[in-house]
């Protein structure tokens, strides 16, 4: 589990063998910690908020000067799956066939 801050705001990354699953623009009030093992269906974080504080070197601000959760204009979630270092369609792994 990695926790990062950048253009995608607070990001949780779950690594498992050949897969890296990332959730971006999540709340800084993390439910899990670096090094935790997570299980299928476990809640690991929450979406948002738009505004964050106490993040050193955060260059992202809105038009009013408030620090934001990455390069964003509102609370939302980015979800991505990489397999063997390449982005793949998450629907191929999340939807039952």
At which residue do the structure tokens 């964050």 appear?
52
Spell out the domain ranges in the chain: 1-97
Task: Return phi, psi of residue 94, to 5°.
Answer: -100, -25
Could you tell me the CATH superfamily of domain 1-97? Glucose Permease (Domain IIA) (2.70.70.10)
Mean pLDDT of 11-24: 92
CA dihedral 5, 30, 47, 89 (to 10 degrees): 70
pLDDT at site 80: 96
Mean pLDDT of 64-68: 90
Mean pLDDT of 58-76: 86
Cite the beta strand spans of 5-77 per DSSP E.
Answer: 11-16, 19-24
CA of 77: how far to CAs of 47, 49, 58, 72, 92, in Å? Answer: 6, 10, 19, 10, 19
pTM: 0.82
């Amino acid at each position: 589990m990695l926790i990062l801050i950048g253009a995608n705001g607070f990001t949780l990354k779950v690594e498992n063998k050949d897969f890296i699953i990332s959730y971006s623009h999540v709340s800084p009030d993390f439910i899990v910690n670096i090094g935790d093992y997570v299980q299928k269906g476990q809640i690991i974080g929450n979406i948002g908020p738009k505004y964050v504080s106490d993040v050193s070197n955060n260059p992202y601000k809105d038009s009013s000067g408030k620090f934001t959760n990455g390069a964003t204009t509102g609370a939302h979630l980015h979800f991505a799956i990489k397999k063997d270092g390449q982005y793949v369609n998450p629907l191929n792994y999340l939807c039952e066939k």
